[in-house]
Structure 1
């Protein structure tokens, strides 16, 4: 059985594809999650996260831009942006402990993003929580 971390990692991959202009990915989310063996409760969790993030992407992106110091959304790498979008969605719309959300985002950025990403992700999410 997949873990929540694996579900989040799959969602980041989906958000990454979506960010690169593959908006049609929305039609294939079920199949992609099935291929990654994300099933049952974790699939429901992943679908909720992906759909919630895409639905609220404008509000989430505004939140990111608010906390970027003299940078734009386009300055961020797509992986980092996807990690931040997911984490901010969870912070704003899900009833999960903020520390767990931030820790998951940091761990995923260590595995999936550039070397400086964990520190950057931590700093930005900390600003979002304190705002």
Structure 2
């Protein structure tokens, strides 16, 4: 059975594709999660996260952008942006402890993004959480 971390990692991939202009991916989320063996409770969790981010994207992006110094959201890589969007959604709309959300986002950044990504994500999410 998949873990929540694996479910989040799958959501990052979906958000990445969505960010690159593949908005039609919304129609195939169920199949993609099934292919990644994200099932049952973890599938429900992943769907809730993905749909939550997509449905609240404007508010999430406004929140993240408000904490960027001189840079815009387009200056951040797509993987990093996807991690930030997911974690910001969880901070703003879910009841999980903020340090847990931030730590999970940092771990995802270490596995999926560039060398400077964990530091960037930690700093931005710390500001969002406050």
TM-score range, shorter chain: over 0.9
Runs of 4+, deviation exceeding 2 Å? none
Aligned to 1:42: 42
Corresponding residue number in structure 1 for 2:86? 86
Unaligned runs of 5+ in 2: none
RMSD of aligned alpha carbons: 0.3
Deviations 1:46-93 (A, max 9, x none): 000000000000000001100000000110000000000000000000
- State how far apart, in whole Å, the 2-side matches of 1:86 and 1:10 are: 11
How many angstroms apart in 2 are the aligned matches of 1:47 and 1:129?
A: 23
- Within a 5 Å distance, the mapping from 1:62-81 to structure 2 comes to 62-81=62-81
Partner of 2:122: 122
TM-score norm. by structure 2 comes to 1.00
Per-residue CA deviations over 1:27-57 (Å, capped at 9, x if unaligned) read 0000000000000000000000000000000
Alignment of 1:100 with 2:108, yes or no, is no
* Deviation digits for residues 84-116 of structure 1 (CA, Å, limit 9, x no counterpart): 000000000001010110000000000000000
Give the alignment's TM-score, normalised by structure 1. Answer: 0.99
Segments of 5+ residues of structure 1 without an aligned counterpart are none
Separation of aligned partners in 2, 1:100 and 1:65: 22
